């Protein structure tokens, strides 16, 4: 899923960023609730999600009486990236990216 965008004067490009982790909700692309997201980190250390989803997801776009699926790049903070990794149980990636701030229970 190659994609690029310019947001607030900064270029976000999946081909030049490092892929950290991905999540797919295991629904077929034809399902209106399908979502696929990939977390990336730019060479300058900024995080972004490259996501796509069906019309019944946060990627749904409404035009008139029609809603359709779409894809987009979303810039997120380090805290949001950490929360995304925790939500999707990407333990190895959490330890790699944020290991210095993780403590044993």
Rounded-to-integer distance, Cα 17 and Cα 38, Å: 11
Q: For residue range 67-80, what is the model confidence (pLDDT) as tens digits?
A: 999 999 999 999 99
Res 1 pLDDT > 80:
no
Alpha-carbon 100 to chain mean position: 23
Nearest one of 94, 74, 73, 83 to 20, comparing CA atoms: 94
Q: For residue range 14-56, what is the model confidence (pLDDT) as tens digits?
A: 999 999 999 999 999 999 999 999 999 999 999 999 999 999 9
Q: Which residues of 55-74 are buried (b: 16+ CB within 10 A; e: fewer)?
A: bebebeeeeeeeeebeebbb
Res 2 pLDDT > 90:
no
pTM above 0.85, yes or no: yes
């Amino acid at each position: 899923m190659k994609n690029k965008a310019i947001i607030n004067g900064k270029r976000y490009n999946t081909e030049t960023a490092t892929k950290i982790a991905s999540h797919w909700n295991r629904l077929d692309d034809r399902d209106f609730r399908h979502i696929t997201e990939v977390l990336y980190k730019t060479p300058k250390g900024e995080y972004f999600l490259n996501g796509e989803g069906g019309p019944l997801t946060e990627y749904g776009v409404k035009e008139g009486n029609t809603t359709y699926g779409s894809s987009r790049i979303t810039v997120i903070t380090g805290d949001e990236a950490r929360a995304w990794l925790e939500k999707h149980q990407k333990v190895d990636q959490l330890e790699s990216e944020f290991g210095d701030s993780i403590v044993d229970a």
